[in-house]
Structure 1
């Protein structure tokens, strides 16, 4: 596998975020490590990342790691199968992880004028309000470190995209479209502009999504789904 391929770069990203030395095992394997400071999940939770058919799992303590290892013994490296095998008090995901190479990029046709705004612009907060809390939280536009690429209609921003710079020169994409403007390709158009900006800076575009509509936009731009991320809160006192 080329050292600069999206798959290799994605593995290096998540291995670094694990917070302790760990590497993805051979295909089909699951590797569990203890990492209280893991970047794979919220504090105190268990984080799971599956890439190319293998998984790394971080647990916040030795006791939790023992529970996880016991539950996952003999299990395949599949995010949904891992989720179903664990004794969970809370779950986030799984969300699909998709990546893009410069050669695979399929820019959107210029069907709408895309404007560039500062990432903290108030118009983005208005868009989040129109989209609703659930969709706004999913998109996380308030986290972007890049410019925002937006489409306006009647003076109001109805679609926006940008990215947050992550470690290992990764660009984590955020895309949001107002409910009244969906289904017309505006999300794809703004996302295309954000992706072009990230690739121009030599970054690896990363698309993390659960909704099918978001995954379709990513696929249309050339993103390849390589795995998934999952965060699990293990039931307290589960036997190890």
Structure 2
């Protein structure tokens, strides 16, 4: 568990102490013992090491590298909608963005944000019209390859089954689940 302060952490630990482990990622169960606001998740947390990484086969479209914060990423987020863009977290990446274009438009992108303990939190977003075509796997593969080359441990957080499937196809192993919430 992470919390904004030691005091908040102690308050949360005390409140959830009586919950069974399988309920710690259930927003309704946690909300009954802790006053929570906005919720993100639950989501599966998966990790991959270099030896287990299964890169995506070369795509028909060329994966291009853009700097984080590039305007084309903003346009992709707008096309995907606020909820999907927020879930993906592409606007928070610190790595380059790895993108696929169709007719000049970015239709899929991935990158990562470097977190403590040499973790690369991978973000992937595909335009709704282009989903289920392997584009998340292709861009995610490029981001993971880059993270591994930087000696980082890639982490893939996925709530949506298609995203979980893309991560598993790349060799990620689900090791747990996460629930993020805002305290009231």
TM over 0.5: yes
Q: 1:114 aligns with which of 47, 63, 68?
A: 63
Q: Which structure ranks higher in relative contact order (CA pairs < 8 Å, sequence separation ≥ 6)?
A: 2
Mark the CA change 1:151 to 1:81 in structure 2 (over 3 Å): closer, same or farther: closer
TM-fit CA distance, 1:180: 1.3
Q: Which structure 1 residue ranges, 5 or more long, are not aligned?
A: 1-13, 19-34, 39-58
TM-fit CA distance, 1:82: 8.2
Q: Which has the larger radius of gyration?
A: 1
Q: 1:100 aligns with which of 44, 48, 65?
A: 48
* 2:161 corresponds to: 212
Q: 1:150 aligns with which of 99, 109, 125?
A: 99
Q: Which structure 2 residue ranges, 5 or more long, are not aligned?
A: none
Matched, 1:169 2:140: no
User: In the aligned structure 2, how far is the partner of 1:61 from the partner of 1:99?
Assistant: 25
* 1:123 corresponds to: 72
More off after superposition, 89-98 vs 202-211: 89-98
Q: 1:179 aligns with which of 117, 123, 128?
A: 128
Q: How many residues align?
A: 180
TM-fit CA distance, 1:114: 0.4
1:99–1:223: 8 Å Cα contact kept in structure 2?
Answer: yes
Mark the CA change 1:126 to 1:86 in structure 2 (over 3 Å): closer, same or farther: closer
1:83–1:232: 8 Å Cα contact kept in structure 2?
Answer: no
* 1:135 corresponds to: 84
Deviations 1:79-123 (A, max 9, x none): 446852651544432111100010110000112210011111100
Mark the CA change 1:62 to 1:142 in structure 2 (over 3 Å): closer, same or farther: closer
Deviations 1:175-233 (A, max 9, x none): 00111111111111010000000001100000011111110100000000000111346
Mark the CA change 1:103 to 1:158 in structure 2 (over 3 Å): closer, same or farther: same
* 1:47 corresponds to: none
CA RMSD between the two structures: 2.3
Q: 2:29 aligns with which of 55, 63, 84?
A: 84
User: In the aligned structure 2, how far is the partner of 1:64 from the partner of 1:187?
Assistant: 35
1:79–1:94: 8 Å Cα contact kept in structure 2?
Answer: no
Matched, 1:60 2:28: no
User: In the aligned structure 2, how far is the partner of 1:122 from the partner of 1:85?
Assistant: 38
Larger helix percent: 2
State TM-score, norm by structure 1.
0.68
Residue 5 of structure 2 aligns to a residue whose secondary structure is coil
